[in-house]
């Protein structure tokens, strides 16, 4: 669809009254414009523009502007900032102030708002289109059916955006007349909400194109990228059913103990465990891949697709272009809004995230725990706690992120030592400033994240020379609003000038996610061998060996629990900063992730002194050392440290306590509860 604005989506309907107040403005007149229902649905072009406007009300996952919706506002923050993968250090965000501190209440806005994220505006406008489409002259019956199908996908997607963090929702199945003075809209059960969403998708799929592949004028990919397709709808159905089958909803007892009103009414779980729910999710995945095998088009991006060699950097580039390129055949559905990247927006994702810039408010600092999830480059597991690892990564033979091989004449060959996806999710010591998006070649100076390094400075730890002791005083810093407060920086969706001043899309659903959802459903239904094969499809794209082969101690071919744990880890590595780690945390009720003490990593540069001893150096290389011919640093020591700057309250709590379990779903706003139309609060937020 290219860049979507709010123009068409903000058309006012003067036929509506102001009696019903669902959410902030469920039925209120929209600001600006004077077009009526009659005029919009009497003109084919106006109707098409109206549908396009609803697309502008979709979820977009990169917070960028203060005056926009809650989920897009950088002063609230991203869901993954609540997981074990990231720690945010901008103290003006809701994440830092309300979630880490444990002071979130039903009077405050969570990271996806029930009333302030355009959900109900999108639902209402989609139903208006569905109800009035037959009035439009000049549209073929097939185009009408396609437009209705897109509208149903928009409703289902907006419902899922809330269902994923709130549970069962009020079912809105018409646009309302605007004349209701009072109304009841009780919260539906979790199961009813799932059926409502999946029924909409089932009705839509037959009237949607599988893909906009550019083979004919009316399927031109450039003009239609971002529209709902059958592939996107089938993927969303699979994801909804995956949620419905997951332990949060599919269990013998409600997650809060089973005694709350929301649990008793089955609003936040199904009331029982049923293995058939996993079978339904599995069938949805199989239906998707059966049609993919028949229709083709979508595929994982391989190094050959971007003219890169099948080496570490080529694999890294394939991963990047798979998610970032708007023409990627890996993206099943994406959303976009205007002025969100580069210098256009008041607060753009790029401007607040660029590690080389001066503002770092949208930086989501990766943790040591996240770094440790990424395997070695051959696919074998990385274990920070192993004794053999400590000898392997530190000192003159260290290769935590890169292997340095000295050849003839002192020439040093640098080879990435880890999973290529690590370098596309975490900015680590030794990475280059640039990575050419066409050739897949790292270029430019390298990030110096060691204590005293050119880039690391004192973000995580400072070193101050003490003239009295003739030594350095070290102090942990973990500074606020700095790019490397945990010793790492984030790079996902923040990839440099190649996309500066361009419109950055948000990947809502992707093929790599489908492979991993399929693997999870296979594992949950007992087909461990096929589950491993699906994971290996994703791993092979970045050149790593088979999951079971590289993890022989886990007995993945026979140990279901270990395999599911590995699939969740693979999802974290493959789908970084995409909300999926947060989704996995809540749907698997992983309160152990919520209460886990997280860590950062201090890097020390080693420099050989006049006696030939390797000692710590607290000076940057770029500058006098480089100018005076000192070899580029390749020897390092490391120290992990417990994150302490706004340590999360939950880290000190019992993972089995209700104080922790309440965080598995967001609270509904108390203002909505008090309206009395049937909204029941989630457990623990009364």
Residue 165 has pLDDT above 80, yes or no: yes
Question: If you average pLDDT over residues 616-633, what whole number do you get?
Answer: 94
Each residue's pLDDT tens digit, 399-411 = 899 998 877 776 6
Q: Return the axis-axis angle of helices 230-245 and 511-524, rounded to nearest 10°.
A: 40
> For residues 252 and 273, is the Cβ–Cβ distance under 8 A?
yes
pLDDT class for 237, splitting at 50, 70, 90? Answer: very high
In order, the DSSP letters of 432-445 are EEEE-TTT--EEEE
176-197 confidence digits (pLDDT tens): 755 555 568 899 999 999 999 9
Report the DSSP beta bridge partners of residue 637: 604
Band of residue 413 on the pLDDT scale cut at 50, 70, 90: confident
Q: What integer is the mean pLDDT of 484-510?
A: 84
Q: How far apart are CA 58 and CA 157, in angstroms?
A: 8
**What's the pLDDT at 350?**
82
Which of 499-513, 616-630, 668-682 has the lowest average pLDDT? 499-513
123 vs 49: CA distance, rounded Å: 16
What is residue 388's predicted lDDT score, i.e. its pLDDT? 62
pLDDT value, residue 1 = 45
Mean pLDDT of 649-670: 98
- Full-model pTM: 0.94
- Dihedral over Cα of 672, 677, 681, 686: its sign: positive
Tell me the per-residue pLDDT of 308-358, one tens digit each, with 9 for 90 and over.
Answer: 899 999 999 999 999 998 889 999 999 987 665 555 456 778 888 889 888
Q: Rounded to the nearest 5°, which phi and psi values hold at 516?
A: -75, -30
- Lowest model confidence (mean pLDDT) among 19-23, 98-102, 578-582: 19-23
| Ramachandran region, residue 512 (left: φ > 0; alpha: ψ -120 to 50; beta: rest) | alpha
């Amino acid at each position: 669809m290219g860049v979507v604005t709010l123009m068409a989506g903000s058309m006012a309907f003067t036929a509506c009254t102001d009696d019903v107040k669902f959410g902030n403005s469920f039925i209120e007149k929209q600001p600006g414009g004077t077009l009526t229902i009659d005029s919009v649905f009497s003109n084919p072009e106006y109707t098409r523009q109206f549908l396009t406007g609803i697309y502008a009300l979709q979820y977009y996952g990169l917070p960028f502007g203060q005056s926009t919706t809650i989920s897009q506002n950088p002063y609230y923050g991203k869901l993954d900032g609540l997981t074990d993968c990231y720690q945010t250090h901008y103290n003006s965000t809701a994440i830092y102030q309300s979630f880490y501190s444990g002071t979130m209440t039903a009077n405050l806005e969570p990271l996806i708002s029930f009333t302030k994220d355009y959900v109900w505006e999108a639902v209402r406008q989609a139903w208006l289109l569905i109800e009035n489409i037959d009035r439009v002259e000049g549209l073929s019956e097939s185009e009408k059916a396609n437009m209705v199908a897109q509208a149903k996908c928009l409703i289902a997607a907006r419902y899922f955006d809330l269902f994923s963090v709130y549970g069962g929702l009020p079912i809105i199945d018409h646009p309302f007349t605007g004349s209701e003075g009072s109304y009841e809209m009780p919260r539906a059960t979790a199961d009813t909400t799932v059926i409502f969403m999946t029924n909409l998708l089932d009705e839509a799929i037959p009237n949607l194109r599988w893909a906009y592949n550019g083979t004919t004028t009316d399927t031109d990919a450039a003009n239609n990228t971002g529209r709902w397709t059958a592939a996107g709808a089938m993927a969303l159905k699979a994801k909804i059913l995956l949620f419905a089958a997951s332990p949060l909803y599919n269990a013998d007892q409600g997650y809060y103990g089973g005694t709350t009103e929301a649990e008793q009414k089955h609003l936040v779980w199904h009331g029982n465990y049923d293995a058939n729910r996993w079978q339904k999710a599995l069938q949805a995945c199989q239906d998707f891949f059966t049609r993919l095998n028949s229709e083709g088009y979508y595929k994982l991006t391989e190094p050959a697709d971007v003219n890169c060699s099948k080496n570490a950097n080529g694999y890294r580039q394939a991963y990047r272009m798979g998610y970032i390129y708007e023409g990627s055949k890996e993206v099943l559905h994406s959303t976009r809004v205007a002025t969100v990247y580069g210098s256009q927006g008041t607060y753009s994702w790029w401007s607040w995230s660029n590690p080389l810039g001066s503002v770092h408010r949208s930086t989501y600092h990766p943790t040591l725990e996240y770094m440790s999830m990424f395997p070695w480059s051959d696919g074998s597991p990385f274990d920070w706690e192993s004794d053999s690892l400590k000898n392997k990564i530190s000192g003159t033979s260290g290769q935590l992120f890169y292997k340095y091989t000295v050849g003839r004449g002192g020439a040093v060959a640098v080879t990435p030592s880890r999973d290529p996806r690590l370098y596309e999710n975490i900015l680590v010591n030794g990475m280059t400033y640039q990575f050419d998006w066409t050739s897949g070649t790292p270029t430019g100076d390298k990030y110096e994240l060691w204590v005293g390094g050119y880039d690391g400075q004192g973000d995580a730890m400072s070193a101050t020379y003490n003239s009295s002791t003739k030594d350095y005083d070290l102090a942990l810093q973990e500074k606020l609003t700095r790019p490397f407060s945990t010793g790492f920086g984030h790079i996902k969706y923040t990839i440099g000038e190649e996309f500066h001043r361009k419109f950055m899309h948000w990947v809502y659903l992707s093929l790599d996610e489908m492979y991993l959802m399929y693997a999870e459903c296979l594992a949950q239904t007992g087909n461990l061998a096929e589950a491993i094969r699906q994971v290996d499809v994703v791993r092979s794209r970045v050149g790593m060996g088979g999951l079971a082969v590289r993890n022989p101690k886990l007995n993945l071919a026979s140990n279901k629990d270990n395999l599911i744990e590995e699939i969740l880890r693979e999802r974290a590595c493959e789908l970084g900063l995409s909300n999926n780690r947060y989704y996995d945390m809540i749907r698997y009720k992983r309160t152990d992730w919520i209460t886990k003490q997280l860590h950062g990593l201090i890097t020390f540069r080693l420099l050989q002194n006049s006696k030939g001893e390797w000692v710590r150096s607290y000076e940057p290389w770029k500058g006098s050392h480089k100018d005076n011919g000192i070899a580029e640093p390749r020897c390092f020591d490391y120290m992990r440290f417990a994150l302490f700057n706004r340590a999360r309250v939950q880290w000190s709590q019992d993972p089995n306590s209700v104080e922790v379990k309440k965080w598995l779903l967001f609270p509904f706003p108390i203002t909505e509860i008090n309206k009395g139309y049937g909204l029941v609060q989630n457990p623990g937020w009364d």
